[in-house]
Structure 1
Amino acid sequence: MSDHEKKRPFQTGRGKPFERTGRRGPKPAWRERERPADGPAILYGWHTVTLALANPKRRIRKLLLTENAARRLDEEDIATRITPDIVRPAEIDRLLGPDTVHQGLYAEADPLPSPDIDTLAPEGIVLVLDQITDPHNVGAILRSAAAFAVKAIVTTARHSPEATGVLAKSASGALELVPLVTVQNLARALSQLNERGFLTVGLDSAGTEDLATIALRKPLALVLGAEGKGLRQLTRETCSHLARLDMPGSIKSLNVSNAAVLALYVGASRLGLMG
């Protein structure tokens, strides 16, 4: 065995060596579509994993790092909380697929608990997602929500992606920053928000009002529907207002994640939350 192939410790600033395990990782390659609903959350990528490591509410079950990633964690003084396995990049590729950008970090963790909608403080802005199923879109919405200090995202237990894999990577760590409230019945949840003083505004291209002209107030709930289908009828009927996003160009509709960030900018600006 060459010196390169031998196990060798990787010293960290916290006094514990990371050791190459020599094992080849789990036998089957992980695929998100095969993950059972009650399985672990799969997290990968620098921001996704490091923010999970920093979140005391997130229980990390397994952590795989390449030597470069372990060295960077040590240089930035980021504690791992559990002893990681140091592996070659190909081992993480085997789990996620060769085209996945994992930056040398892979974790399996317990899903974060879903707060009850009744525990949401009536303040600031919340987002409500009506059966948005694309994990890239939901992840991008989460990232924008974190940027605008959104208090929570409300989504349905069914017809919504699991908070793992592609969604977590697209959110770039925002899963650890924005509570994800899962409800069984969205119309009932909107009614609860109405009763608790939230102004519920559904975004719809056929809305009778321009979001920029509505008298917005806190607490505000912005409701977004899936691309193509938009808001469901009962969702539309439960919102206090239906509003559109007026734009000067020829194309009048936006990708839902882009619509979300534009609506958040309008809402946060109007509510004095931008400074």
Structure 2
Amino acid sequence: MSAKHILFGFHAVTVRLKTAPQSITEIHFEGSRRDQRMRQFLERAREAGAKLVESDGDRLAALAGNSRHQGVVARCSAVAQQHSLDDVLDGVDGAPLVLVLDGVTDPHNLGACLRVADGAGAHAVVAPKDHAVGLNATVAKVASGAAETVPYLMVTNLARTLNELKERNIWVVGTSDQAEKSIYDLDLKGPIALVLGAEGEGMRQLTAKTCDELVRIPMQGAVESLNVSVAAGVCLYEALRQRQAGSR
């Protein structure tokens, strides 16, 4: 079975048990683990009707592709995602909040971005099909369940998608170290798409040109930029802060 149909780690498998238990073919667990966390997990899995297979550490590592499985690996069928960004946005009640990632190829960074997007209430994460990492077992593990809850939509033409967001009156805001305005200078309470590039290269030139506005994250120390998942957290939670303050 391909890696995209493997989930590992307590968080990732538990969320799948909650959201789509019927998609789980079987769960392999480390028989030598008898701690409370494992006992609670196995009880939840049995309640969901999952097939449980006792395995050893070597077998689990082979299934997961690494040793960071925490003693839990699930074989799953793919869960159907919402068909398009339009489908997602049509279902949003209130002002949409979208995270756009241009050129993020590291699965650990993507997993962390999905986790922070879920935490901040983003409605979707968008990335180009080229020059970006897709969902895999490592992404799901790092995302701690958020890969199951936040739509991750890979599009053929990112610039065209940004223009389609504009047609929906969604303000497209990109981040750039060279921008004059700070993220804290903007009103983020309305429909917003926040665009971040990969650390190092940043956004591609066409992506930056397509944005309505470019802003920077203030940096007070010696380093010049933040990891993309940290930057995503700063921007998304500033939007969440403003929205919560505005609703009081």
Normalising by the smaller structure, the TM-score range is 0.7 to 0.9
TM, length-normalised to structure 1: 0.78
| Structure 1 stretch displaced more, 43-52 or 118-127 | 118-127
Matches within 5 A, 1:1-275: 35=2, 40-56=4-20, 59-67=23-31, 68=34, 71-76=39-44, 79-96=47-64, 100-115=67-82, 116-121=84-89, 123-272=95-244
Matched letter for residue 187 of structure 1: A
Q: Secondary structure at the match of 2:231?
A: helix
Q: Against the structure 1 CA distance between its residues 78 and 149, is the aligned structure 2 distance closer, same or farther, given a 3 Å change threshold?
A: farther
Per residue, is there more helix in 1 or in 2? 2
- Residues 100 and 126, structure 2, Cα contact 8 Å, conserved in 1: yes
CA distance in 2, matches of 1:127, 1:136: 16
CA distance in 2, matches of 1:139, 1:239: 24
Shift of 1:70: 6.0
Shift of 1:80: 3.9
Shift of 1:242: 0.7
CA distance in 1, matches of 2:21, 2:194: 27
Shift of 1:198: 0.8
Indicate the RMSD between aligned Cα atoms, in angstroms: 2.4
Q: Secondary structure at the match of 1:120?
A: helix
| Structure 1 stretch displaced more, 186-195 or 205-214 | 205-214
Shift of 1:87: 1.5
Matched letter for residue 193 of structure 2: A
CA distance in 2, matches of 1:208, 1:94: 49
Question: Larger C-alpha radius of gyration, 1 or 2?
Answer: 1
Matched pairs, number:
238
Higher relative contact order (CA 8 A, sep 6+): 2
Q: Deviations over 1:103-157 (max 9, x none)?
A: 2111122333343011232623110111200000000011111111111111122
Shift of 1:181: 1.4
Q: Secondary structure at the match of 1:216?
A: coil
TM, length-normalised to structure 2: 0.86
- Residues 64 and 73, structure 2, Cα contact 8 Å, conserved in 1: no
Q: Against the structure 1 CA distance between its residues 108 and 138, is the aligned structure 2 distance closer, same or farther, given a 3 Å change threshold?
A: same
**What is the percentage of aligned positions where both structures have the same residue?**
36
Q: Deviations over 1:76-122 (max 9, x none)?
A: 5763443121222332023335x622121111223333430112326
| Structure 1 stretch displaced more, 116-125 or 187-196 | 116-125
